[in-house]
Structure 1
Amino acid sequence: MYRYNQVDQQLVDERVEQYREQTRRYLAGELSEDAFLALRLMNGLYVQRQAPMLRVAIPYGTFSAQQMRTLAKIARTWDRGYGHFTTRTNIQFNWPKLEEVPDILAELATVQMHAIQTSGNCIRNTTTDPLAGVAADEIEDPRPWCELIRQWSTLHPEFAYLPRKFKIAVSGGPSDRASSRVHDIGLELVRNAEGAMGFKVLVGGGLGRTPFIGQVIREYLEPEELFSYLDAILRVYNLRGRRDNKYKARIKILVAAAGIEQFRAWVEDEWQYSRGGDLRLTQERIDEMKAHFAPFDYVAQAAEDQTFAAALAADSDFRVWVERNTQAHRVAGYRIVHLSLKPLLGAPGDITAQQMDAVADLAEAYSFAEIRATQDQNLVLTDVQQKDLYALWQGLQEASLARTNINTLTDMIVCPGFDFCSLANAKTLNIADQINQVFEDLDYLHDLGDIQLNMSGCINACAHHHVGHIGILGVDKKGEDWYQITLGGSATENAKLGKVLGKAIPADEVAATLKVIVDTYLELRAEGESFLQLVDRLGLAPFKEAVYPALA
């Protein structure tokens, strides 16, 4: 992973002291509320329904065991003993005291972490495939490109006050595990006809109040021109994006209004001034960055590990965990391990300080001291030897991180909702508990297969409900929580928006309605057919017929 140089560290240290002085002035009455608002947002601090919330950046989701221990210390010392992972692979602390936030930022700086550009109208944390560097199907590791984008975009003076927030995702190959098509800019690594690596560039994706799937603006971009082309897109957006209405200020609205051909023409015209110039990346710079993400020194493995085979045969619970929570690694003898942050009854994405310390210990013992956060609010240890899987599983069990619900209905992406967020219209965490209680049987969940359930507490769609196989949107009806259901969404390389099933469902009937939906799927599915494939084949009609008479 990337390690700070002297300039990086100096920038973060200076920012801590700047914010410490700004906080002091605000508390002394020397800065107005409005003046401090802009300053605290630049440093990742929101004021939510219950308390301030600090969002800490985890660039492209990769961090170390040492950094995880620091997050645990922050949770214990300055919060209420836990943190919450988000869909941008950041972590949020929901209960810091405003006057103590500078101390938290100073602690983060000791391990090369910060909260810069986790909020505000700027380029946010660039995200990527959580399996970057270890997936067998990727063209190459996308994380060096993410780090280059991070360095280019952090405190970029021209893009510090964009019309609205701006999100970039980079996918490492044909299987899009980064949701690149629902980002302001999506970059997909591809090869051209000569076999050279470059980027397919998509623009104008995004969810929220007005969801759009991104459109291809350039089929192939040579990697050396990455900065110049991104710069051209951002300049066009900065100049032409609306600033009179925040709901219409995202780049997706500009692209939709102008059309992709006109937007492409604007970008090409702007690009002529920077293409081939100072922003062009040299091969030396690219190679220097790739060196930070060189593969680990993997140990050659026997063709078949007898200890691992014996453990699989002897322990059925372990065998199920291996089947559900691990997957193939590009290096023989290693596995990728998914840690579920979706307990039976607990907020999805939450992790306690004790669990953070446990993950740090296990990462050091079994996965080169590196951890990944995922956009579906879980964690991944990417480089575990097969012979160590049983010991790792036992450690995860002790930490309550081994639930075998990865990619099942209860592996839900859920925003904190009305319990925490000042923008939310409806609660989400109680509905997640309700769903877990109805779908507690893991054998039943495994039989259902892969189903992505996403639930947002408002139209801002922080949980990406539009692209869930099943999406749930909380809405307020005269002071009561109701929930609108969509089916058929996807955030993969075949990205599409789900379609609304029908009228909203009252809070106490959400889980029962989901039971009708999945039972309908079980009744109608062909052999080997997934839930999403069945929705594609039959549409919404059979689900509507089953759900609404059942609710009458």
Structure 2
Amino acid sequence: MPPHSAPRREGKPGRARPPLERSRMSTPARPANRHHKRPRGEGQWALGYREPLNKNEENKKNDDGLNVRQRIIDVYSKRGFDSIDPADLRGRMRWYGLYTQRKPGIDGGKTAILEPEELDDRYFMLRIRIDGGQLDLNQLRVIAGISNDFGRGTADITDRQNVQLHWVEIESVPEIWERLEAVGLSTTEACGDTPRVILGCPLAGVDADEVIDGREQIREVYDRFIGDKAFSNLPRKFKSAISGCAAHCTVHEINDVAFVGVVNEAGEAGFDVWVGGGLSTNPMIGKRLGAFVRPDQVADVYGGVIGIFRDYGYRRLRHRARIKFLVNDWGAEKFRQILQDEYLGHALPDGPAPALADDTRRDHVGVRRQRDGKFYVGFAPKVGRVDGDTLAKIADLAEAHGSNRVAMTVEQKMVILDVPEERVESLVDGLDAIGLKVRPSTFRRQTMACTGIEYCKLAIVETKATATTLIHELENRLPDFEHPLTINVNGCPNSCARIQVADIGLKGQLVVDEKGEQVEGFQIHLGGSLGATPGFGRKVRGLKTTAEDLPDYVERVASNYAKQRSDDESFAAWVQRADEADLK
């Protein structure tokens, strides 16, 4: 079920209401200094520091990002790319999911050298947000049509349940919005310093092991806060998840805020709150606040957390502007106290921690029975790359087999829901015929890749094609390898593909090959994990590989693991005890 079933006018703050009916939520008053000891120089609004301390903050103060929508409709789409104000082009247009894509032919060595206007192509990446991950077939077909009509057939499923299109021209954007909004979809705040897409379990409402169905809470958070100008100028991006999935598929440990399904001592289903998770160049695991949140309290608590981020978040330096830095400095106890005292106006009861997941795979790939007796069928596109025609074929197959909805996972995979038992194998065969494996190899199932240098202006190396080649090579070389093994390929240090929490995390960089030439390659992180034993990957001194030698390296280390593992030992556990020679 989509997070909202009717089109919603974007950029209109009147629909959303703050968590407390008091003026400080839109214009924060200065609280007592006892609550925070950091210097005013961090640019925190709540401490009275409202003057912008960098160019990004100045642009946001000059004009709210949500205001760019009307300029796109009235001016830029009519006058073309050259009419776009640079502050809108490289700033505010992100508030509606639009980034200029990388100009073709610029190698990774120039990524950090060239000016933004030298990297910009005249085309855009457009990010469609899918809050909760679920789509009905009409919505899926609309995305497929937009992909073919305006995006040269491109479509990538991201690890945050979005769909990204490429080659979009500014002239086409108003019609794209009209088509999306007609079926209840949106690009509002899909990027920018905003509350971005809300992750949810793709099986919400049907999973037999589900702790609680979080779809209603996702809808309420979306309706109250997305497009509200009271929350459209945050220090940086804000990533969230609301899920009762027993497998913890929304990776709550690395979101800015996450609500995780739990059952308290009284037998009531509700949510445990985590704050301050995130990766990039300073990875941090989120912290539990230790509070039990009833389903009807989720939106208020979300509003309080995002309000704290807006008011107390660090705005001086962009690389320290994520909420994880504030949480790390304050600690969970202080964060909870300020949330309760200043934003909720009441205390939250203590609550239990989430139960640990038994399954090391969180992706929902395969065939399993739903609680209503029907089945879901999860399948694996290669590193999230599909196209408009493929999305249309998926919709046709789902409909022909009795389903009316699909879902995106946070592992760049897809699920068809509500399939009658007698139609499952026919659907599996139909998906296989178009290259979508329901029973894939470990390597296809558990390899992810970010956008990479093909389209991304921050990237240093190619990722999607490299990862696809890696999958093919490993399937041929290690056909009997069946152990869980995540391989995450990233084109730069920013970890969009979550390299630090992968079994094998690959951070793109330029390396020197045997001939002494600079070529595309990767720094290797080994043994990252979430769940019962969260931790970031181990970096072995000097452990790098060229892109060309990557299949040889992964084959070697995966084979060593398969030979040396004991019983059900995970790759991450093996890495901790393995000799360095076996990791190289």
Normalising by the residue count of structure 2, what TM-score does the alignment of the two structures yield?
0.78
Q: Residues 406 and 109 of structure 1: is their aligned pair in 2 closer, same or farther, counting only changes over 3 Å?
A: farther
5+ residue gaps, structure 1: 277-323, 343-347
Residue 541 of structure 1 is matched in structure 2 by: 578
Cα distance in 1, alignment partners of residues 293 and 372 from structure 2 = 33
Partner of 2:521: 482
Q: Pick from 91, 97, 106: which aligns with 2:169? A: 97
What's the C-alpha RMSD, in Å, of the aligned pairs? 2.7
Distance 1:463 1:91, change over 3 A: same
Residue pair 1:61, 1:128 contacting (<8 A) in 2 also: yes
Deviation string 1:427-480 (CA, Å, 9 cap, x unpaired) is: 2134213412321239x4553322111111111111111111221111234853
Match of 2:186 in 1: 114
- Aligned residue identity for 2:378: H
Is 2:456 the counterpart of 1:421? yes
- Cα offset for 1:216? 0.5
Q: In structure 1, what is the Cα distance between the partners aligned to 2:403 and 2:315? A: 46
1:112–1:513 CA distance, 2 compared to 1 (3 A) = same
Match of residue 244 from structure 1: 316
1:509 is displaced (CA, Å) by 1.8
Kindly state the Cα deviation for residue 181 of structure 1 after the two structures are TM-superposed. Answer: 0.9
Structure 2 residue identity aligned to 1:499 = R
Provide the residue aligned with 1:19 in structure 2: 72
User: Who is 1:463 aligned against?
Assistant: 497
The residue identity in structure 2 corresponding to 1:40 is M
Task: Give the aligned residue type for 1:379.
Answer: M
Q: Quick one: structure 1 residues 245 and 406, their matched pair in 2 at CA, closer, same or farther if it must change by over 3 Å? A: farther
Matched with 1:393 is 428
Native 8 Å contact 2:95 2:193 kept in 1:
no
| Partner Cα distance (1:41, 1:198) in 2 | 34
Q: Which residue of the other structure, out of 135, 140, 150, is the alignment partner of 2:222? A: 150
* 8 Å CA contact retained: 1:409, 1:450: no
Equivalent-residue separation in structure 1 for 2:554 and 2:317 (angstroms): 36
> Alignment partner of 2:341: what SS?
helix
Instruction: Please give the alpha-carbon distance, in whole angstroms, between the structure 1 residues aligned to 2:473 and 2:126.
Output: 33
Which consecutive unaligned segments of at least 5 residues does structure 2 have? 14-65, 104-122, 349-363, 513-517
Closer, same or farther in 2 for the Cα pair 1:260/1:17, shift >3 Å?
A: closer
Structure 2 CA distance for partners of 1:25 and 1:99, relative to 1, 3 Å:
closer
Identify the match of residue 536 of structure 2 among 497, 501, 504: 497
Show the counterpart of 2:128. Answer: 56
Counterpart pick for 1:512 among 536, 552, 577: 552
Give 1:297-316 correspondences, 5 Å limit: none
Tell me which residue corresponds to 2:467: 432
Decide whether aligned partners of structure 1 residues 110 and 76 sit closer, same or farther in structure 2, where only a CA change above 3 A counts: same
1:424 counterpart letter in structure 2: A
Closer, same or farther in 2 for the Cα pair 1:131/1:268, shift >3 Å? same
CA distance in 2, matches of 1:165, 1:202: 17
| 1:523 corresponding residue in structure 2 | 563
Q: Is the 8 A contact 1:175 1:493 kept in 2?
A: no
1:40 alignment counterpart? 93
Q: Deviations over 1:308-345 (max 9, x none)?
A: xxxxxxxxxxxxxxxx9523223375332112211xxx
Q: Distance in 2 between matches of 1:22 and 1:264?
A: 45
Partner SS state of residue 418, structure 1: coil
TM-score normalised by structure 1 residue count: 0.82
Q: Shift of residue 546 of structure 1?
A: 2.1
Q: Which moved more, 1:34-43 or 1:204-213?
A: 34-43
Residue in structure 2 matching 1:360, options 381, 389, 395? 395
- SS at 1:186's partner residue? strand
SS where residue 393 of structure 1 aligns? helix
Contact 2:81-2:170 at 8 Å conserved across structures: no
Check the 8 A contact 2:235/2:322 in 1, yes or no. Answer: yes
| Kept after mapping to 2: 8 A contact 1:22/1:36 | no
Return the offset for 1:110. 2.2
What number of residue pairs does the alignment pair up? Answer: 490
Question: For residues 162 and 354 of structure 1, what CA distance do their matches in structure 2 show?
Answer: 37
Aligned equivalent of 2:366: 326
Q: 2:140 aligns to what?
A: 68
Distance in 1 (CA, whole Å) between partners of 2:535 and 2:201 is 19
Instruction: Name the residue aligned to 1:287.
Output: none
Judging changes above 3 Å, is the alpha-carbon distance between structure 1 residues 101 and 24 closer, same or farther for their aligned structure 2 residues?
Answer: closer
Q: Distance in 1 between matches of 2:82 and 2:387?
A: 35
Alpha-carbon separation, structure 2, partners of 1:269 and 1:445: 57
2:329 paired with 1:224: no
SS in 1 for 2:475: coil
Partner of 2:32 in structure 1? none
**1:267: how far off?**
2.1
8 Å contact from structure 2 (residues 508, 522) kept in 1: yes
Distance of 2:3 and 2:453 partners within structure 1: 38
Report if the CA contact (8 A) 1:117-1:154 is conserved.
yes
Q: Which has the higher helix share?
A: 1
Q: Secondary structure at the match of 1:20?
A: helix
Deviation at 1:224, TM superposition (A): 2.5
Question: Are residues 1:258 and 2:336 paired?
Answer: no
- Structure 1 residues 532, 473: closer, same or farther in 2, change over 3 A? same
CA distance in 2: counterparts of 1:37 and 1:239, whole angstroms = 25
- What is the distance in 2 between the residues matched to 1:100 and 1:409? 34
For 1:469, the aligned partner's letter is D
Deviation at 1:370, TM superposition (A): 0.2
CA distance in 1, matches of 2:270, 2:371: 24
Q: Is the 8 A contact 2:449 2:497 kept in 1?
A: yes
Maintained 8 Å contact 1:431/1:511: no
- Conserved 8 A contact 1:123-1:159: yes
Distance 1:516-1:20 versus aligned 2 partners, 3 A rule: same
| 1:325/1:406 contact within 8 Å kept | no
Paired-residue identity, %: 27
Q: 1:110 to 1:13 in 2, by over 3 A?
A: farther
- 1:181/1:41 Cα in 2 relative to 1: closer, same or farther (>3 Å)? same
AA in 1 matched with 2:288? V
